[in-house]
Amino acid sequence: MLYGLLPHYHPPMRIDVLTTFPEMFYPTPPGAMGVSIPGRAQKAGILELHATNIRDYTNDKYNKTDDRPYGGGPGMVMMCQPVWDAVTAVEAQDSRPATRVYLSPQGTPLTQDLVESLASKPRLVMIAGHYEGIDERVIERLDPIEISIGDYILSGGELAAMVLIDAITRTLPGVLGHGDSALEDSFSHANTTNPDGSVINPKALKGLEIPAGAKLLDCPHYTRPQVWDGMEIPPVLTSGDHNAVARWRLEQRLKRTQDRRPDLLESGLSGPESADSVDSPGEICDDA
Ligand code: SAM
């Protein structure tokens, strides 16, 4: 790889997904990863996405990736060998160190902090499970970060991987244009600049008390027509007064957060969650 020899060249972030359904990650439209922000990021050379079929790494003549569970019971379990061989083969395709992620309902719940922390890694290898999950021994050996996208059960890790890839991609530098700036997106801190980059006059924000470090939800958004079915947009948005608009938006962000997610106002106190502080299953959690 030439990466070290080209000081101004930022190689695309590489994400590999190990799956038994690689076609779900089809990199061009109409595949979900070939359109919208992930599609744009791949086209711009900011994201490099590969989906590898775990089935290609089976030693079994029928290409089986799963077998019956020891101890009996329903369902099947993904076997160690194909998962291990697929992960190690894919990792050997690129010299950059890979952060391993296993999408699992038993993992750390995904947050924007965790998304941003993962986005700072040069390379991710995501493993999507199926059936009852993956044989615990290969999870122990791979020692991935386990991430859950919510307290519900999906049929497989592919959709969870896509959620994670989409959320990571929109945070990569150069992916979002001015038109879809993440500045005021939910779970960000109170913004001190407008989406056009101009600084909000602090005087305009006088008396607006936002707890330090708090995360806020986004403000409501409106577009044309100005009156729809008798419903008018808030007049400040057509006032032309940028500072008044900025104050209104921050007020709305604060109010929405107080009404819907008051827990976020405390979030600054615990500090951001990072991929490095999330326990892998192989690590012993030391709460002392
Ligand atoms: N028996 C497992 C359990 O209860 O923990 C659930 C297995 S689930 C049917 C099959 C696969 O889907 C998992 O191995 C995981 O990769 C993925 N999956 C399911 N729900 C998920 C969630 N909420 N977040 C992330 N991945 C999930």
Pocket probe mutation, ligand 1, options 153, 155, 163, 278, max atoms within 8 Å of Cβ: 153
Instruction: List, for residues 25-74, the tens digit of each pLDDT value.
Output: 988 888 999 999 999 999 999 999 999 999 999 999 999 999 999 999 99
Looking from the CA of residue 149, the nearest atom of ligand 1 is 24
Lateral strand order in the sheet of 99-109: 47-53, 13-19, 123-128, 99-109, 145-148
Pocket of ligand 1 contains residue 144 by CB under 6 Å: no
Nearest to 32 by CA among 186, 224, 126, 169: 169
- Check whether 276 has a pLDDT greater than 50: yes
Name residue 46's amino acid: I
Q: Are 191 and 183 in contact (CB under 8 A)?
A: yes
Pocket of ligand 1 contains residue 110 by CB under 6 Å: no
Kindly indicate the confidence band of residue 226, based on its pLDDT and cuts at 50, 70 and 90: very high
Distance 16 CA to ligand 1 centre (A): 19
Q: Are 102 and 161 in contact (CB under 8 A)?
A: no
Angle at 25 (CA atoms; ends 149, 272), nearest 5 degrees:
30
List the single range of 164-168, 213-217, 223-227, 270-274 with lowest mean pLDDT: 270-274
Instruction: List, for residues 121-180, the tens digit of each pLDDT value.
Output: 999 999 999 999 999 999 999 999 999 999 999 999 999 999 999 999 999 999 997 655
| Alpha-carbon separation of residue 228 from 199, 231, 234, 236 (angstroms) | 32, 5, 12, 17
Name residue 151's amino acid: D
List the single range of 34-48, 84-98, 195-209, 245-259 with lowest mean pLDDT: 195-209
- Check whether 265 has a pLDDT greater than 70: yes
Domains annotated on the chain, with CATH: 11-176 (3.40.1280.10), 182-270 (1.10.1270.20)
CA of residue 237 relative to chain centroid, distance: 31
Residue whose CA is closest, atom 13 of ligand 1? 129
What pLDDT does 178 receive? 65
Instruction: List, for residues 233-256, the tens digit of each pLDDT value.
Output: 999 999 999 999 999 999 999 999
CA of residue 185 relative to chain centroid, distance: 14
> Mean pLDDT for the chain?
91
Instruction: List, for residues 53-64, the tens digit of each pLDDT value.
Output: 999 999 999 999
Q: Are 157 and 103 in contact (CB under 8 A)?
A: yes
Distance 86 CA to ligand 1 centre (A): 19
Q: With the CA atoms of 196, 201, 205 and 209 taken in that order, what torsion angle do they form, in degrees rounded to the nearest 10?
A: 90
Nearest to 185 by CA among 119, 275, 112, 272: 112
List the single range of 3-7, 113-117, 194-198 with lowest mean pLDDT: 3-7
225 upstream amide cis, omega within 30 of 0: yes
- Check whether 285 has a pLDDT greater than 60: no
What pLDDT does 277 receive? 81
- Just list the catalytic residues: 105, 132, 170, 185
Distance 135 CA to ligand 1 centre (A): 13
Residue whose CA is closest, atom 10 of ligand 1? 130
CA atoms within 13 A of residue 279's CA, in its CB half-sphere: 9
